[in-house]
């Protein structure tokens, strides 16, 4: 095994409400939503209509640019609605589950004995392909390209993130099958980044992969940070990434011969009474697990994903396609008397503005969504550099994106980044700049201009 890669720059935000390794009990979700917007870089063409009966694996829509790339239903049931917005944009497809989880036929296969083209054809037609993402651009992987490598981050360092070692325990065979299938899609290596302190035995017992041990604060668990320190992306190159649970999903289908989109998520946050892990399916409505399990003395923010880069949803909203976490924290719609002038022993501060830093680095905080100020002039303060562990100048890259200067964006490393890599920059930003939104717009702009 290679030398441990130690990350110095970053920031661990210790929030209250982290779950222990226990499973909660809840009624199965009955309503599901599949959102094309979860899958960046595609143009959906819907082929179902209201009232249609579907099974798990039934095709809902495909990508207009790559018609062979299918997007399928995660459950069996009935199409309630195809919801559209301005200019008939598809917002989501609602599915009423019948509770039977009947599956379309899926052939049991051994990917090791299949050709590269057969594996690609199977993943595209079965609806598993969209869970493979691509750098540059942070979009669904382009099936017409071959990546130089595929990366899997085996741990997550975001606040309150699930423990993947716990989530995928007992799934070694399925994980290995998924890895064998992915290996057919590249002439390069399958890289897996693991936490040096708690590397799962599953990862270390796999064949056909290269393990890399990491040590450091968030965002060390971000796959983009791992790519940067293992095999950086140059112009004209691409790498693909995938979440460990999605590797298991692919392997499970190949082992069982049927669709099974079940996954383990964690419900946590300072406003959750009993944080716990739950078994569910992507696109599931979250009301069945949050109802009666949250502290409703104040308005709440429900987040699909982690608190730094997740998507704001309602209490009866739906789990995102790539998300493995539902976080509930207080809304920040109140103002504080004297603000930062007060000593504040219960408020988190990056720059030791409050006296709470004297309480030690292990103190946990119940943070809300308050911005503590409004957007102001964008200054060069070196704040981003302290929490951005790549050899990239983040402030200059953000300014190049705002100026739509493609040459500068390329020189400053836009091909290596995704919005989530800038989540901490946004968190510490004195100017309250929405860096994640800007990076997303920059990636979309440069992809459109260079297409």
Cα torsion 408, 411, 415, 417 to 10°: value is -80
Task: Report how far residue 348's alpha carbon sits from residue 367's, in angstroms, rounded to the nearest whole number.
Answer: 8
What is the DSSP code (8-state) at residue 265?
E
Residue 358 pLDDT > 60: no
pLDDT per residue as tens digits for the range 270-318 = 999 999 999 999 999 999 999 999 998 889 999 999 999 999 999 999 9
Task: Report how far residue 287's alpha carbon sits from residue 284's, in angstroms, rounded to the nearest whole number.
Answer: 9
Task: Report how far residue 175's alpha carbon sits from residue 173's, in angstroms, rounded to the nearest whole number.
Answer: 5
Report the pLDDT value the prediction gives residue 16, as an integer from 0 to 100. 95
Residue 338 pLDDT > 90: no
Chain-centre distance of CA 96, in angstroms? 25
CATH T-level fold of 31-97: OB fold (Dihydrolipoamide Acetyltransferase, E2P) (2.40.50)
Q: Which DSSP string do the residues of 64-107 spell out, in sequence order?
A: SSSTT-EEE-SS-EEEEEEEE-GGG-EEEEEEEE-SS--B-B--
CA distances from 314 to 83, 291, 309 (A): 17, 12, 16
Beta strands in 294-333 (DSSP E): 300-304, 311-313, 325-330
Domain ranges for the chain: 1-26+104-332, 31-97, 383-450
**Residue 77 β-bridge partners:** 54, 97
pLDDT per residue as tens digits for the range 32-65 = 999 999 999 999 999 999 999 999 999 999 999 9
Residue 406 pLDDT > 60: yes
Give yes or no for a contact between 436 and 308, defined as CB atoms under 8 angstroms apart. no
Task: Report how far residue 272's alpha carbon sits from residue 315's, in angstroms, rounded to the nearest whole number.
Answer: 12
Residue 354 pLDDT > 80: no
Residue 23 pLDDT > 70: yes
Neighbour tally for 3: CB within 10 Å: 7
Classified as helix, coil or strand, 293 is coil
Name the residue among 199, 177, 16, 54 with its Cα closest to residue 110.
177
Give yes or no for a contact between 182 and 174, defined as CB atoms under 8 angstroms apart. no
Give yes or no for a contact between 273 and 341, defined as CB atoms under 8 angstroms apart. no
pLDDT per residue as tens digits for the range 176-227 = 999 999 999 999 999 999 998 876 778 888 999 999 999 999 999 999 999 9
Report the pLDDT value the prediction gives residue 60, as an integer from 0 to 100. 98
The rounded percent of the chain whose pLDDT value lies above 70 is: 94
Give yes or no for a contact between 34 and 60, defined as CB atoms under 8 angstroms apart. yes
Task: Report how far residue 210's alpha carbon sits from residue 5's, in angstroms, rounded to the nearest whole number.
Answer: 14
């Amino acid at each position: 095994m290679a030398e441990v890669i130690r990350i110095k720059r970053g920031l661990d935000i210790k929030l209250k409400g982290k779950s222990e390794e226990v499973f909660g009990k809840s009624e199965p979700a009955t309503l599901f939503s599949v959102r094309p917007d979860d899958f960046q870089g595609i143009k959906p063409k819907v082929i179902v209509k209201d009232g249609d009966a579907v099974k798990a694996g039934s095709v809902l829509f495909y990508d207009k640019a790559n018609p062979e790339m299918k997007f399928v239903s995660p459950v069996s049931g009935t199409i309630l609605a195809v919801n559209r917005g301005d200019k008939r944009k598809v917002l989501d497809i609602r599915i009423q589950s019948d509770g039977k989880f009947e599956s379309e036929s899926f052939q049991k296969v051994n990917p090791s004995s299949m050709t590269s083209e057969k594996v690609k054809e199977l993943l595209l037609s079965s609806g598993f392909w969209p869970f493979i993402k691509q750098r540059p651009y942070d979009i669904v992987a382009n099936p017409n390209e071959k990546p130089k490598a595929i990366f899997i981050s085996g741990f997550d360092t975001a606040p309150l993130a699930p423990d993947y070692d716990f989530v995928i325990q007992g799934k070694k065979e399925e994980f290995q099958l998924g890895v064998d299938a992915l290996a057919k899609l590249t002439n390069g290596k399958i890289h897996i980044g693991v936490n040096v302190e708690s590397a799962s035995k599953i990862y270390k017992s796999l064949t056909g992969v290269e393990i890399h041990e990491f040590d450091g604060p968030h965002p060390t668990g971000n796959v983009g940070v791992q790519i940067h320190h293992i095999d950086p992306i140059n112009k004209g190159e691409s790498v693909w990434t995938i979440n460990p649970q999605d590797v298991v999903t692919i392997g499970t289908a190949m082992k069982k011969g049927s669709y099974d989109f079940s996954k383990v998520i964690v419900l946590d946050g300072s406003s959750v009474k009993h944080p716990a892990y739950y078994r569910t399916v992507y696109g599931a409505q979250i009301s069945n697990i949050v109802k009666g399990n949250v502290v409703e003395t104040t308005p709440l923010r429900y987040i699909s994903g982690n608190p730094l880069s997740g998507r704001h949803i309602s209490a009866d909203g739906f789990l995102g396609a790539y998300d493995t976490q539902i976080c509930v924290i207080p809304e920040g719609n109140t103002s504080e008397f004297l603000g930062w002038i007060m000593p504040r022993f219960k408020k988190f501060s990056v720059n030791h503005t409050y006296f709470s830093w004297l309480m030690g680095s292990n103190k946990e905080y119940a943070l809300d969504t308050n911005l503590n100020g409004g957007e102001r002039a964008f200054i060069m303060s070196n704040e981003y550099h302290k929490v951005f562990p790549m050899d990239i100048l983040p402030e200059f890259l953000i300014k190049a994106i705002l100026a739509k200067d493609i040459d500068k964006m390329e020189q400053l490393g836009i091909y290596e980044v995704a919005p989530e890599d800038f989540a901490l920059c946004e968190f510490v930003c004195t100017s309250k700049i929405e860096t994640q939104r800007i990076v997303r717009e920059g990636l979309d702009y440069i992809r459109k201009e260079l297409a």
